[in-house]
Structure 1
Amino acid sequence: MPDIKTVQHMKWWGWGVDGVAFSHDDKPSLAPFVQKVIDVDLNAPAEPPMAFEDLAVPASQLSEDLQKALSGALGDEYVVSTDLDRVVHAFGKSLRDLVRIRASDLRRIPDVVVYPADEAQIVAVMDAVLAADAVLIPFGGGSNIAGSLEAPSDETRQVVSLDLGRLNKVLSIDEESGLARIQAGALGPDLEKQLGERGWTMGHFPDSFTHSSLGGWIATRSSGMQSDKFGDIADITRAMRVVQPGGTLATRAVPVTSSGPSVREMILGSEGRLGVITEATVQVHRKPEKRVVIGYFFPDWKRGVAAMQAISASDATPSITRISDSRETQFSFATRKVSKGFSKFMSSALIAVLKRRGWDLEQMCLSFIGYEGSAEHVARQRKLVKKIVAAHGGIGVGEGPGALYDQKKFDTPYIRDFLLDRGALADVSETSASWSHLMPLYDTAVERVQKSFAQLGVKGWVMCHLSHSYHSGACLYFTFAFKAGEGDPVAQYDVVKSAVQQAFMDANGTLSHHHAVGTEHSRWLADDISEPGVQMVSGIFTAVDPGRNLNPGKIVS
């Protein structure tokens, strides 16, 4: 069985592991750009977080009886109550989480962290927690940014964090059906490595891929960068096993069923409120013969979005359809390295061609479209997309941008931490809407965020990209940043975050496309699914967990 030493955790104060960080030293345009748009000097000395020893870590409230019960179930080695383990498991990685933890605002952190090795041990932990009337919070990779991992600040009962990191194996592959049984604690790189060794891929690559788990993806209804081809986690997950109070729920790995209301759908997005996911059966695919991501330019955002809509309605089946608005495109250009990447395709000759076409380069939008499959299939798809791109005034710029996209696609959280070290608050909000509402929603959200900057009296920046195209609509992913002013940074953040989330509700979007509800977005749930919908969700939680022992306070209070 996997040892506790094999379980990897991110650093307590930020994204990723120690020793890996973003740097602007090889990106000469970035510092001037950031200075211009949010008035932050990247060359000024950074303000790193305090030393861990200086944190005011609340004492563990673990009772002797619960300690004995957990140790009897797992062994002493796998019941851990050190300050570091408890802090690492106390939060996700939202901006709110990082600001608070760096300020030693820890509130109610877990009293103990347990590391079960299998489902039987999870059952034993569940029984011990219920017998002690304690709280159980499942923990995968710790990457959540919606407040889904934090215990309520007023929780007086003992809090147990259940780390699934030892359950990290691909258990079996049904090669005839293209289905794989995988333990819920497997992180993205681990499961793809194990599948890849046998020639398969799950094809699910969220931004958090390196530090998120299969169980976490299911519990939050995650989407990946290639969901246009493979679907989101709700499409990929065919069956699951879930340890609940009084028994283990198990669904069958069938392609479709008419077995009443979907129990599988109830677990998807449940954020630990309905039990601990121990394993899932997921769709897998043979690794493609060819995979390529091509860069395209569009003269403006409106025509670029129209092209994505046209692709979604066409016979083309790309794996990625993504376009950045002009602001995000400018940011991408600012992050280019010297004599590499963007400079290769943003040559003076290309710029001259675009200007002759009458393009306003400040309105230009960068798009990435991915293709995979047989060489013949990829060639055919590229040809179909090329016609659509041209019809909307776009131009292809080759594989160079796509190669950079693949290299940088998991780097964004490191940039956020880098900015936070220098006094800037940056975060994201994403939504989905139908094609008919997409552009009005975009305009509303940008306007609301800019008004929130004015309300705070700060210089801020908001940018967006479209990703995850569907037949009826798409996902819009907004990023905002501003320099923190005097006073409470969390309160300032709330002004901007609330503005963009309310814009989603007012403009016919959803509260989140793939980051989940947690506590961050729960105040908008009734606006999204109606008050009767909230009552239905609450009723399901109460029926399964009448004692509110399972991750209370998430989704609905």
Structure 2
Amino acid sequence: MAGNPTQPTQPTSRTRSWWGWGWADAHPGDAECAALGALLPGTLARPLPVPRVGDLGIGDPSVEPPRSLAHLVTADPGDRAAHAMGKAYRDVMRALRGRPGRIPDLVARPTDDRGVADLLDWAGERRVAVVPYGGGSSVTGGVEYRGDAHRAVLSLDLTAMGRVLEVDVEGRAARIQAGTLGPSLEDQLRPHGLTLRHFPQSFEFSTLGGWLATRAGGHYATGHTHIDDFVQSLRVVTPAGTSSSWRLPASGAGPSPDRLFLGSEGALGVITEAWVRLRERPRHKASAAVAFTGFHDALRAVRALAQSGLSPANCRLLDAGEAALSGASRDGSAVLVLGFESADEPVDALLARAVGLARSYGGRYGGTAGPDGAKGGAKGGSKDGGARVADPAGDAAVEAWRSAFLRMPYLRDGLARMGAVAETFETAATWDRIPGLIDAVRTEVGGAALKATGHPATVNCRLTHVYPDGAAPYFTVLAAGRAGDEVALWDDLKAVAGEVLHRYRATITHHHAVGRDHRPDYDRQRPEPFALALRAAKAALDPRGILNPGVLVD
């Protein structure tokens, strides 16, 4: 039975940062920035000032919308500046240095499919580039315009389309508008006892449409790791017409139309709504932290867990540097953060089995036996007499990791104000390549940073998602910058990393999309016959080449 549409929650009164991550009031102050910089030799003596929109010298737009669309469009300088870039390190640094790139001429906020279609028609006629925009959290150059081939640039912000339109409780699915931000989406599903349970790090500042357009990785470390797994059907507005696939549990009828648009990054059309699979909200949760002296022993333990069929919701492995950075460990140990959850039955026994498996590979765990005789110590253990909280140190490690996970983007921006390079990149490869890949990235990226700056760099690694046949390593790079040339330094380090990934046949992106920053490596990764098909699809659906030019294809 389909439920009534749910009204989105009222927007918060807090202000988003136009130049950096998240909320403006959550950014580190000058003193905290200086303290962060002191941890990295070679950074600036004092933090760069917080940039101001008024210093950008934003001029009048090159075009004006027709009167029929004027109510959807704004030329406000602050709005335009906030839509000029995503939130990657290179974006933050460009804003701090007053070099944000091309500012969009207009920002549009359509409220329905008709508005999207009318804006695309007008843009095509006037040779205006259209850059679809959700929460603006792209870290790959996916929401900016580069070049000068178009007369003007329109940022197409979908967040005015932010409603859960229909809920099928029996079928555990919902029809949701693409501009719905993560927190609002969950708030609208909560009264139905259902959840999408897709929680990328950008959850608070990203939208369903953005997740779909970038094939985002989410909450689950095993099993349903990507948003793709939750899609029943898509509705996409293109310059050539609207594509609306049937809502089906599965189909073998030719190539999937949804697969054409999943990961298309706004280059083929504008995703406006989707039917997505839901699940009951979990009531039973349990988590634990297991420490390892040797990182490669921990890798073997994680591989065994991924192949065990236990399917933990969380199976994040932090190397010693990452564990220390997050506060999960202070003795040089690698830390495996495990978590299980369920809507209908206790999960303590599953956690106990996972911990036991990790211990067989040398993991250290301080929990005590629960009432069932199994090794316990679960954070948030169930209430039916299963294993209780018995490892305060492990609980503290889990909570430290969670807190650091959410705080880290703000600290990155604080380090950027000190002229440091502080950024991440991720990949995925098969298990036979994982150990060598991780070692090579640490050695070669760290060596390149030392050569370029004269100061040692930190290259940490964690596994964010694991599969029976491989894993997704996620790297953090911290290094002194080159004053005034920080973006070029990061681009050089990223190029070194890209060469390592290519050598190990590891994907250029596991869950952060291609955008413009990853284009050269993506072109090397994809098969040429598929590139031909993609170019043909682009030409057919976007014949005037206005949709997100430069993303995926030329």
Q: How does the TM-score come out when normalised to structure 1?
A: 0.88
Corresponding residue for residue 504 of structure 1: 501
- Structure 2: how far apart are the matches of 1:6 and 1:89? 19
Q: 1:458 aligns with which of 454, 458, 474?
A: 454
Give CA deviations for 1:167-208 in whole Å, capped at 9, x if unaligned.
Answer: 111111111111111110011111011112221111111011
- Structure 1: how far apart are the matches of 2:124 and 2:62? 16
- Asked if the contact 1:431/1:512 (under 8 Å) is kept, the reply is yes
State whether structure 2 residue 533 is matched by structure 1 residue 536.
yes
* 1:500 Cα deviation from its structure 2 partner: 1.0
Give CA deviations for 1:407-463 in whole Å, capped at 9, x if unaligned.
Answer: 343222111101011121211110000111111111111121022113303321111
Corresponding residue for residue 49 of structure 2: 48
* 1:310 Cα deviation from its structure 2 partner: 0.4
Q: 1:142 aligns with which of 117, 129, 136?
A: 136
Corresponding residue for residue 201 of structure 1: 195
* 1:486 Cα deviation from its structure 2 partner: 4.1
* 1:45 Cα deviation from its structure 2 partner: 3.8
Identify unmatched segments of 5+ residues in structure 1.
334-341, 347-360
Corresponding residue for residue 188 of structure 1: 182
- Structure 2: how far apart are the matches of 1:480 and 1:168? 35
Give CA deviations for 1:70-124 in whole Å, capped at 9, x if unaligned.
Answer: 22xxx2xx31001111111111111111222222223322111111111222122
- Asked if the contact 1:292/1:399 (under 8 Å) is kept, the reply is no
- Asked if the contact 1:205/1:224 (under 8 Å) is kept, the reply is yes
Cα 1:326–1:407 change in 2 (3 A) is closer
Q: 1:387 aligns with which of 352, 356, 361?
A: 356
- Structure 2: how far apart are the matches of 1:154 and 1:374? 52
SS at match of 1:399: helix
State whether structure 2 residue 449 is matched by structure 1 residue 474.
no
* 1:300 Cα deviation from its structure 2 partner: 1.6
Cα 1:5–1:24 change in 2 (3 A) is closer
Q: 1:371 aligns with which of 329, 333, 340?
A: 340
- Structure 2: how far apart are the matches of 1:215 and 1:104? 30
State whether structure 2 residue 440 is matched by structure 1 residue 444.
yes
Q: Read off the aligned partner of 1:267 and give its amino acid letter.
A: F
SS at match of 2:428: strand
Corresponding residue for residue 282 of structure 1: 276
Corresponding residue for residue 18 of structure 1: 24
- Structure 2: how far apart are the matches of 1:425 and 1:297? 29
Cα 1:199–1:228 change in 2 (3 A) is same
- Asked if the contact 2:425/2:475 (under 8 Å) is kept, the reply is yes
Q: How does the TM-score come out when normalised to structure 2?
A: 0.88
Q: 1:321 aligns with which of 303, 315, 319?
A: 315
Greater fraction of residues in helix:
1
- Asked if the contact 1:89/1:142 (under 8 Å) is kept, the reply is yes
- Structure 2: how far apart are the matches of 1:293 and 1:83? 46
- Structure 1: how far apart are the matches of 2:280 and 2:167? 12
Using the TM superposition, name which of 404-413 and 458-467 deviates more.
404-413
Corresponding residue for residue 428 of structure 2: 432
Using the TM superposition, name which of 98-107 and 175-184 deviates more.
98-107
* 1:329 Cα deviation from its structure 2 partner: 1.7
Cα 1:22–1:369 change in 2 (3 A) is farther
- Asked if the contact 1:458/1:485 (under 8 Å) is kept, the reply is no
Give CA deviations for 1:120-174 in whole Å, capped at 9, x if unaligned.
Answer: 2212222222232322111100000101111122233221111111111111111
- Asked if the contact 1:10/1:142 (under 8 Å) is kept, the reply is no
Q: Read off the aligned partner of 1:383 and give its amino acid letter.
A: A
Cα 1:249–1:378 change in 2 (3 A) is same
1:32-71 alignment to 2 at 5 Å? 35=38, 38-40=41-43, 45-63=46-64, 66-71=65-70
SS at match of 2:167: strand
Identify unmatched segments of 5+ residues in structure 2.
1-6, 366-390
* 1:23 Cα deviation from its structure 2 partner: 6.7
- Structure 2: how far apart are the matches of 1:23 and 1:9? 16
Give CA deviations for 1:49-88 in whole Å, capped at 9, x if unaligned.
Answer: 233211122431013xx332422xxx2xx31001111111
SS at match of 1:87: helix
Aligned alpha-carbon RMSD (Å)? 2.5
Cα 1:298–1:432 change in 2 (3 A) is same
SS at match of 2:94: helix
SS at match of 1:448: helix
Corresponding residue for residue 548 of structure 1: 545
